[in-house]
Chains A and B, each alone.
Chain A
Amino acid sequence: MANFTPISAAIGGALIGLSALLLMRLNGRIAGITGIFAGLIEPQSTEWGWRATFIVGLVAAPLSAALIGYTLPIPQMPPSVAIIAVAGLLVGFGTRLSNGCTSGHGICGIARLSPRSIVATGVFVVAAMIVVALTRHVVGG
């Protein structure tokens, strides 16, 4: 497990948990990125303001990290634009259909012990693991 980084993972996880908790205590809202983002881009959206500032804060975080000397890593993406586009479409459509993603179901939902979110998280994690197994070890291997 050469790539395992438990300490930074724990610190980062604590910050994510703190953010979700604060958003509920301050604004009474679930920190689900899908819902926050979708509310900005879909027509008839309501409460534009707090959604927009959350996204601004999210994007500002790595920029502030770069300002104080961290390296901003360029994400490694698949070479195929078609695969990236298909993946993006699936993530967008799927998270709206199931009403949540890694943050909404995976963290906020499971934190409430919602059976719906526990099932959703199990399904998307296993589906993603199967896809990675296929692409890395069957097709690409």
Chain B
Amino acid sequence: MRALASLVCGFIFGWGLFISGMIRPEKVLGFLDVLAIPSGNWDPSLAVVMAVALAVTGLGYALARRRPPLFASQNQWPTQTAIDRPLLAGSALFGIGWGLVGLCPGPAIENLATLSPPVVVFVVAMAAGMVAYHVWETRGAASAERALAAATAADG
């Protein structure tokens, strides 16, 4: 049931990106291009998408907050609250990549449906970036552990 529910959610999400035009990178770039405001060529559609999505999700989350989900034991709300360097640096890097092409992860993956070769390149690179992060993070954790072990050994 969980897999089926998730399939339906992915499908609705995909339709949302499709209908709103946010599947098209050129439409997203039309929003990000704020210097086009004076000439009247700016496209604020993305802001409308975000505002309506936020209204629906925000209201729904507020009502659903304490209710357990139908097909799982509990709601898994994110627990991180820190506004730290990884959050800021990661968001900045993501924003640079987003601005270069106009694709963020959802529309990028959805556009695989078009079998467009540049989109395949983008998604493969995106996956590589995620794996690179994973490797970097696990190595960092491992070396921190070794340093701690060494320090403890030296102290002990």
Are the C-beta atoms of A124 and B125 separated by less than 8 Å? no
12 extra interchain contacts, Cβ-Cβ under 8 A, other than A38-B134, A92-B131, A120-B91? Answer: A12-B17, A19-B9, A28-B71, A57-B6, A57-B10, A75-B26, A75-B118, A88-B126, A89-B129, A94-B93, A95-B104, A99-B86
Are the C-beta atoms of A50 and B3 separated by less than 8 Å? yes
Query: Within residues 8 to 59 of chain A, which ones have a CB less than 8 A from any CB in chain B?
Result: 8-31, 33-34, 37-38, 41-43, 49-59
Q: Which residues of A contact B (CB under 8 A)?
A: 1-6, 8-31, 33-34, 37-38, 41-43, 49-65, 70, 72-78, 81, 83-99, 101-103, 105-116, 119-121, 123-133, 135-137
Taking the closest CB of chain A, its distance from the CB of B31, in whole angstroms, is: 9
In the assembled complex, which residues on chain B have CB atoms less than 8 Å from the CB atom of A132? 29, 32-35, 99
- Total interface residues on B, CB under 8 Å, equals 114
Top-10 shortest CB links A-B: A12-B20, A92-B129, A61-B14, A127-B95, A57-B10, A88-B125, A17-B56, A98-B90, A131-B99, A97-B90
Question: Chain A interface secondary structure, helix, strand, loop or mixed?
Answer: helix
In the assembled complex, which residues on chain A have CB atoms less than 8 Å from the CB atom of B142? none
Contact of B16 among A3, A19, A34, A97 (CB under 8 A): A19
Q: Complex formed: what's the CA distance from A94 to B33 in Å?
A: 21
In the assembled complex, which residues on chain A have CB atoms less than 8 Å from the CB atom of B53? 13-14, 16-17, 20, 107
Are the C-beta atoms of B14 and A91 separated by less than 8 Å? no
Q: Complex formed: what's the CA distance from A81 to B120 in Å?
A: 11
A60, closest chain B residue (CB): B11
Query: Within residues 92 to 110 of chain B, which ones have a CB less than 8 A from any CB in chain A?
Result: 92-101, 103-106, 108-110
Contact digits for B107-140, partner A, Cβ 8 Å, 1 yes 0 no:
0111111101011011111111111111001000
Taking the closest CB of chain A, its distance from the CB of B56, in whole angstroms, is: 3
Q: Complex formed: what's the CA distance from A9 to B69 in Å?
A: 29
Known: A90-B97, A96-B130. A19 touches B12 (CB 8 A): yes
B23, closest chain A residue (CB): A62
Are the C-beta atoms of A30 and B97 separated by less than 8 Å? no
Known: A63-B113, A75-B116. A125 touches B95 (CB 8 A): yes
B51, closest chain A residue (CB): A13
